[in-house]
């Protein structure tokens, strides 16, 4: 089967979601993307929510504009229970997620905007990690401060890491 690439365009960035039929080595050759699928650590639970992109995201850094590069990820709660999520990154000073944590209702989808606030390509492999916890009997009062909730509940129900790729766009508009 041929390599398939499904772009989700945003003003200054793109996400490339690999379909199940994609050949990672061909895709990496063609688009110069990291091909690593970052597996969970042995003790970590499998991610149970829907997520797009599945295996990688690409920031296009526009050298002609001072604005940050942006991408979107889509989180889908395909379960029957509310879930809370949080996003962490290896680039804490240069990357921002909006919202960085929140609640997603059953059978709903949420768009999360990730901004990269630098003009250079960072060294090394970088990723964002998305964690989730199934909410069972928590009251709205307990969930008012989600940062505090996550501190009190460090055992998550699932995690997925998305590899971040960067490319510089020197083209004039």
CA distance 132 to 140: 17
pTM of the model: 0.75
Domains by residue range for the chain, with CATH? 5-169 (2.60.40.10)
Residue 93 DSSP label: T
Residue 52 DSSP label: E
Cβ(5)–Cβ(22) below 8 Å: yes
* pLDDT tens track for 43-54: 999 999 999 876
CA distance 109 to 100: 15
24 is written with which tokens? 């990672």
* pLDDT tens track for 151-167: 999 899 999 998 888 88
Q: Which residues pair with 98 in a beta bridge?
A: 113
């Amino acid at each position: 089967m041929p390599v398939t690439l499904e772009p989700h365009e945003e003003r200054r960035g793109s996400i490339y979601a690999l379909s199940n039929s994609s050949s990672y080595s061909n895709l990496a050759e063609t688009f110069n993307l990291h091909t690593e699928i970052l597996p969970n650590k042995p003790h970590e639970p499998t991610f149970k929510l829907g997520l797009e992109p599945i295996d990688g995201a690409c920031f296009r850094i526009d050298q002609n504009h001072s604005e940050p590069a942006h991408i979107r990820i889509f989180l889908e709660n395909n379960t029957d229970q509310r879930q809370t999520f949080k996003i962490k990154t290896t680039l804490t000073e240069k990357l921002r997620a909006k919202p960085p944590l929140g609640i997603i209702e059953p059978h709903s989808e949420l768009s999360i905007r990730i901004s990269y606030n630098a003009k250079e390509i960072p060294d090394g492999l970088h990723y964002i990690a998305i964690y989730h916890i199934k909410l069972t009997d928590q009251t709205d009062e307990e969930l008012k401060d989600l940062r505090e909730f996550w501190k009190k509940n460090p055992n998550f129900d699932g995690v997925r890491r998305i590899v971040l790729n960067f490319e510089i766009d020197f083209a004039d508009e």
